[in-house]
Amino acid sequence: MDEIETDKQPVLSKLTALSHAGRLDIFRLLVTAGGEGLNAGEIAVALELRPNTLSQHLTMLSAAHLIRPQREGRNIRYFAEIPAMGELLGFLMQDCCGRSPDICQKALETLKIHK
C-alpha cells in the first residue's frame, strides 16, 4: 500500500462504518445527544436494536474513531467524536468547487466544527 492509500485509510474506515443504516442511525443519534452522550440501553431503546446487533455496531463505530465509550460503573456511555466527523467532512470537501473556496464558502462555514 503506498503512502497516499495509507493516508486515506482512516477516512475509508469512517466511511465504511457509516455505510450501514443502523450504524449511521446510531452515530446521528449520538450527535444529537451532544455532550451528554447515551448509554447502550438508551441507544437500543431509541433505535429498537437487539443488544448483540447494537454491540457489533458500537464496536465498529468505536474502531473507526467516530464514537467514544466511557465506562460508568456497570454501564458504558457513548459519545459522538465531533472532531472526527469534522475531519471527515473536511477531507471530503477539501478540493470542492474546483479549489475555489469562495464559490462554496457558505457551505464550508456551515460545516466548520470547532474542536
Number of domains forming the structure of the chain: 1
In this prediction, residue 91 carries a pLDDT of 82
Closest CA to 23 of 1, 56, 72, 71: 56
In this prediction, residue 115 carries a pLDDT of 41
Is the model's pLDDT at 47 over the cut of 70? yes
Q: What angle do CA 70, 73, 79 make, to 5 degrees?
A: 20
62 part of a folded domain? yes
17 part of a folded domain? yes
Instruction: Report the number of secondary-structure helices (H) and strands (E) in the chain.
Output: 7, 3
In this prediction, residue 110 carries a pLDDT of 67
Closest CA to 38 of 74, 68, 73, 82: 68
In this prediction, residue 87 carries a pLDDT of 86
54 part of a folded domain? yes
Task: Print the domain residue range for 59.
Answer: 3-81
Question: Distance (Å, rounded) from C-alpha 55 to C-alpha 58?
Answer: 5
106 part of a folded domain? no
In this prediction, residue 92 carries a pLDDT of 81
pLDDT by residue (tens digit) across 49-107? 999 999 999 999 999 999 999 999 999 999 999 999 988 887 887 777 776 666 766 66
Q: Domain containing 54 — which CATH number?
A: 1.10.10.10
User: Confidence band (pLDDT; 50, 70, 90) for 8?
Assistant: confident
Question: Distance (Å, rounded) from C-alpha 88 to C-alpha 100?
Answer: 20
Cβ contact 65:14 at 8 Å: yes
3-state helix, strand, coil in the chain (%, to 5): 65, 10, 20
Lowest mean pLDDT among 15-24, 25-34, 37-46, 78-87: 78-87
